[in-house]
């Protein structure tokens, strides 16, 4: 273990702040940084990104637990599919050629970019929440949560089969390329099923955190099996990225509210598109 990656400490703080502000999984940022900036092989970059993400998401998860906004029953149903899929993706990542992983990661980044560009405006989300409140006030609802602030949130989860399919696909991509689960969960819960935004985000964070832990465990086990220089590199990076994301996740909670979210999301969408095209171009040109 060495200290040559000390600069990843401040980088991780910045990444965690941006991830908190945008709602994107941290590994979505770290995998390209490790591959393009540090020259890591795709499998190592994805695994280290997931290990780092676990700590960052756990830090954010504790806040939602205190706010009592997580629908644990819904989360458990999604995890029943997401966890096996994430484990499968993590196992498959070691048997997929690096250039194919780059293409898949590139396609995943393009999907994240398009999800940003199609994300509902804050005013639209507010209207969805108000519509749900009015509609469910007149009918029997399946689930009611009372937040730590005493706010009662009632809703009915629709299209459960579709939700589990989304969780399965997202979990597979999380294990394989470190991203996708949060975006698919968010799309299903908020836009397809009209779950109140507070509950949708909190429950999605819960599902992503647990699934990332499972996927990261498989990647860490493979690193230990390989040992040698690979394991040394992994530990040399995470000793700086883990404390960085822990600090950044806490700072990001206050900083995020001061950043125009739509502007940030558009900038990130453009950045991810450029990176995705770069990965796909590398493979196409045989670089």
Is 158's pLDDT higher than 50? yes
Mean pLDDT of 197-211: 85
Predicted confidence at residue 137, as pLDDT, reads: 47
Q: Which residue from 229, 199, 210 is spatially nearest to 171, judged by alpha carbons? A: 210
Is 193's pLDDT higher than 80? no
Phi, psi (degrees; rounded to nearest 5) at 265: -65, -40
| H helix runs in 187-260, sequence order | 197-226, 228-255
Q: What pLDDT, in 10s, does the model give residues 209-237?
A: 899 999 999 999 999 998 888 999 999 99
3-state DSSP assignment of residue 178: coil
Q: What is the pTM of this model?
A: 0.80
Residue of higher predicted confidence among 237 and 25: 237
Predicted confidence at residue 82, as pLDDT, reads: 94
- Which letter does DSSP use for residue 233 in this model? H
Predicted confidence at residue 35, as pLDDT, reads: 87
Question: 23-32, 150-159, 189-198, 211-220: which has the highest mean pLDDT?
Answer: 211-220
Mean pLDDT of 141-170: 81
Predicted confidence at residue 120, as pLDDT, reads: 59
- For 64-100, give one letter per residue: b (16+ CB within 10 A) or e: beeeebbbeebbebbbebbbbbbbbbbbebeebeebe
C-beta separation of 77 from 235 below 8 A:
no
Is 167's pLDDT higher than 80? yes
Of the listed ranges 66-75, 146-155, 200-209, the least confidently predicted one is 146-155
Predicted confidence at residue 106, as pLDDT, reads: 83
Q: What pLDDT, in 10s, does the model give residues 81-100?
A: 999 999 999 998 878 887 88
Mean pLDDT of 258-274: 75
State how far the alpha carbon of 13 is from the alpha carbons of 242, 258, 280, in Å.
9, 17, 28
Residue of higher predicted confidence among 258 and 35: 35
Predicted confidence at residue 131, as pLDDT, reads: 55
d(CA 57, CA 270): 24
Q: What pLDDT, in 10s, does the model give residues 102-155?
A: 888 888 788 778 776 776 555 655 555 555 555 544 455 567 887 878 888 888
d(CA 53, CA 3): 20
């Amino acid at each position: 273990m060495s200290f040559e990656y000390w600069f990843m400490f401040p980088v991780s703080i910045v990444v965690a702040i941006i991830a908190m502000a945008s709602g994107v999984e941290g590994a979505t940022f770290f995998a390209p940084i490790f591959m393009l900036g540090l020259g890591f092989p795709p499998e190592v970059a994805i695994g280290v990104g997931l290990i780092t993400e676990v700590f960052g998401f756990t830090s954010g998860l504790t806040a939602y637990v205190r706010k009592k906004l997580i629908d644990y029953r819904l989360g458990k149903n999604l995890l029943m599919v997401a966890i096996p899929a994430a484990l499968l993706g993590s196992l498959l990542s070691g048997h997929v050629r690096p250039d194919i992983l780059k293409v898949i990661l590139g396609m995943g980044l393009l999907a994240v970019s398009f999800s940003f560009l199609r994300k509902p405006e804050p005013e639209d989300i507010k209207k969805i929440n108000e519509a749900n409140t009015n509609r469910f006030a007149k009918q029997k609802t399946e689930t009611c949560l009372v937040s730590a602030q005493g706010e009662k949130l009632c809703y009915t989860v629709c299209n459960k089969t579709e939700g589990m399919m989304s969780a399965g696909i997202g979990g597979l991509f999380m294990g394989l390329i470190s991203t996708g689960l949060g975006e698919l969960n968010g799309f299903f819960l908020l836009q397809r099923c009209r779950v109140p935004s507070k509950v949708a985000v909190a429950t999605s964070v819960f599902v992503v955190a647990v699934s990332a832990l499972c996927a990261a465990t498989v990647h860490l086990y493979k690193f230990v099996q390989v040992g040698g220089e690979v394991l040394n590199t992994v530990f040399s990076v995470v000793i700086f990225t883990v404390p960085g994301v822990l600090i950044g996740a806490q700072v990001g909670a206050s900083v995020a509210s001061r950043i125009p979210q739509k502007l940030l999301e558009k900038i990130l969408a453009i950045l991810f598109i450029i990176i995705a095209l770069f990965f796909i171009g590398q493979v196409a040109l045989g670089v």
